[in-house]
Amino acid sequence: AWTGTSSGFVKVVVNLTNTAKYAGHSLRIRWRLGTDASTSSVGWYVDDVTLTGIGNPPPIPPPGTQLRVQ
């Protein structure tokens, strides 16, 4: 997680190595943005999300299509 002010993009890595805790369960990943009234920026961007070590990864969509994982 990250808080504060940034003059550029910030890389954040979340390590979920305690796999026994998640085994056999669905995992929901959420991005949350909280602000106060002093900001006038456009918000934030999420890009290049990578999940590794997945037992049954979702299929890779053909070029020109989108994949929605629920």
CA–CA dist 1, 18 (Å, integer): 18
Give pLDDT, residue 31. 81
Give pLDDT, residue 27. 74
Hey, what are 50's tokens?
A: 């990578």
H helices of 1-70, in order, are: 19-22
Hey, what are 69's tokens?
A: 């994982």
Give pLDDT, residue 55. 67
Looking at the structure of the chain, the number of domains it has is 1
Give pLDDT, residue 48. 78
Give pLDDT, residue 9. 77
Domain residues for the domain of 69 are 1-70
pLDDT mean values, one per 10 residues, the chain (70 residues): 70 76 76 74 76 70 66
Number of alpha carbons in the 13 Å side-chain half-sphere of residue 36? 4
Q: Identify the three-state secondary structure at position 36.
A: coil
